[in-house]
Structure 1
Amino acid sequence: MPADLDEKMNRYGELLAQAVDAAEIAPPEGTPLHDAALECEEMAVSYLEDGRHFREQDDPVNALASFSYGHAWLDAGARVGLFDVPTEGHLFTV
């Protein structure tokens, strides 16, 4: 069982890191939607950092949760148009 958890934790960590790199803020600067996109991006990056910290502390459950929450922020933002994201591939569900 722990091997499956470690594999999933690492897979989700890599998925979030790739998604952070791929997501581009869509709304123009100076608009409330641009500010919302910045906040979503900040949350995703914070969860990525938290997940990496938990992984270093040998806490795969909290690492996986952090990576999952971080990706949810980006994926939800992409669905409502805050981010331009690739429509092909496995990074987003748009």
Structure 2
Amino acid sequence: MADIVEKTERYEDLLAEALAAAETAVPADTPLGEAARECEEMARSYLEDGRHFREDEDLVNALAAFSYGHAWLDAGARIGLFDVPEDGHLFTV
């Protein structure tokens, strides 16, 4: 059980840090700007969902939510919707 506790906390921190670090790289008034907003909104929603699951001691769903949220941001960064740090552990670009 300790492994999932540590991993859930680590993935929550990763998603929160990634959200803080990602900056929209495309014009806001374009379809790509809309896509960037949607990716960020999904990531934030999954962060909130994960925190809710964690509070309910549902660590499996919390970890899944944090992972999905990060995947939305990471995918957006890979296709150029976000400027993100290229060094470090936050993104796979």
Moved over 6 A (4+): none
Mapped to 2, the partners of 1:21 and 1:54 lie a distance apart of 22
Q: Look up the match of 1:21.
A: 20
**Alignment RMSD:** 0.4
Mapped to 2, the partners of 1:29 and 1:72 lie a distance apart of 21
Aligned length: 93
Deviations 1:8-37 (A, max 9, x none): 000000000000000011101211000000
TM-score, length of structure 1 as denominator length:
0.98
Q: Look up the match of 1:3.
A: 2
Letter in 2 for 1:47: Y
Q: Look up the match of 1:60.
A: 59
How much identity, in percent, do the aligned residues show? 73
Mapped to 2, the partners of 1:29 and 1:68 lie a distance apart of 26
TM-score, length of structure 2 as denominator length:
0.99
Q: Look up the match of 1:75.
A: 74
Deviations 1:28-68 (A, max 9, x none): 12110000000000000000000000000000000000000
